[in-house]
Amino acid sequence: MSIRHGLLALLEREPMYGYQLRSEFDTTTGSTWPLNVGQVYTTLARLERDGLVSPGEEDEEGRTRYAITEAGREELQGWFATPVITADRPRDELAIKLALAVTVPGVDVGAVIQRQRAATITAMQDLTRLKKGGDPEDLSWTLVLESMRYQLEAEVRWLDHCEAALARAAAQRTRRDGADNPTTTTGARP
């Protein structure tokens, strides 16, 4: 996702000026993606250049409200109509970390997995407390919060899977080594 689409979506509600966009973005995403006002103005300038928004008259306080254009509306509809493809997202540092961990000698992969699991569950506890204390009527916020909780859940399931795969690999290695070496080890190296 780009900030452009986020701003276009907000402007579809009503024309707004930069600072207002920033605080609305913050509210709608539950502060999960903090923007600085500079990013907002840079993005607005690009949207204006591309004809997706148009600035209105300056008000008495010197603020300019931006409105979405017809082209902006089309762009926004196209964005909502296009699924998010995993490959478009930033690379997953955790997956890369584990992929490397199993190839680097001397790394206790099981411990890496458990540390991650504990951290992920702790994050889940934090989000669950937010959910408990939050306003269930605030649908945008609830959806963002649940998205994060489901992501954490998926991460823990994946960690469980990694651990099971690791145990299987270790068992296989033990069997293989056992054939020619009676003093086997149960490490986590491939």
Partner 1 sequence: MNDHVPSAVPALEIIDVSRIHGRGDAAVHALRGLHLTVMPGELVAVMGPSGSGKSTLLNLAGGLDQATAGRVRVQGEELGSLSRSDLARVRRRRVGYVFQDFNLIPSLTAAENVALPLELDKVRTRTAMQQARAALDEVGLGGLYDRFPDDVSGGQQQRIAIARAIVGERTLILADEPTGALDSETGEQVLALLRARCDAGAAALLVTHEARHAGWADRVVFLRDGAVVDEAGSTVSPEAFLSGGLR
- Assess 177 for contact with partner 1 (CB under 8 A): no
Q: Report in angstroms how near the CB of residue 150 gets to partner 1 at its nearest.
A: 8
Q: Tell me which stretch binds partner 1 (CB under 8 A): 14-22, 32-40, 64-72, 95-103.
A: 32-40
- Assess 78 for contact with partner 1 (CB under 8 A): no
Give the span between the Cα atoms of 31 and 17, in whole angstroms. Answer: 19
Quote the DSSP letter at residue 71: H
- Assess 148 for contact with partner 1 (CB under 8 A): yes
Helix 37-49 and helix 18-28, axial crossing angle in degrees, nearest 10 = 110
- Assess 170 for contact with partner 1 (CB under 8 A): no
Binding residue for partner 1 (CB under 8 A) from 45, 95, 99, 164? 164
Binding residue for partner 1 (CB under 8 A) from 9, 102, 124, 169? 124
- Assess 129 for contact with partner 1 (CB under 8 A): yes
Strands 64-68 and 53-58: antiparallel
- Specify whether the CB–CB gap between 68 and 152 falls below 8 A: no
- Assess 35 for contact with partner 1 (CB under 8 A): no
DSSP-H helix ranges across 3-84: 3-11, 18-28, 37-49, 70-81
- Specify whether the CB–CB gap between 37 and 14 falls below 8 A: no
E strands, the chain, are 53-58, 64-68
Q: Tell me which stretch binds partner 1 (CB under 8 A): 15-23, 49-57, 75-83, 159-167.
A: 159-167
Looking up tokens 């056992």 gives 178
Binding interface with partner 1 (CB under 8 A): 30-34, 93-94, 114-115, 117-130, 132-133, 148-150, 152-153, 155-157, 160, 163-164
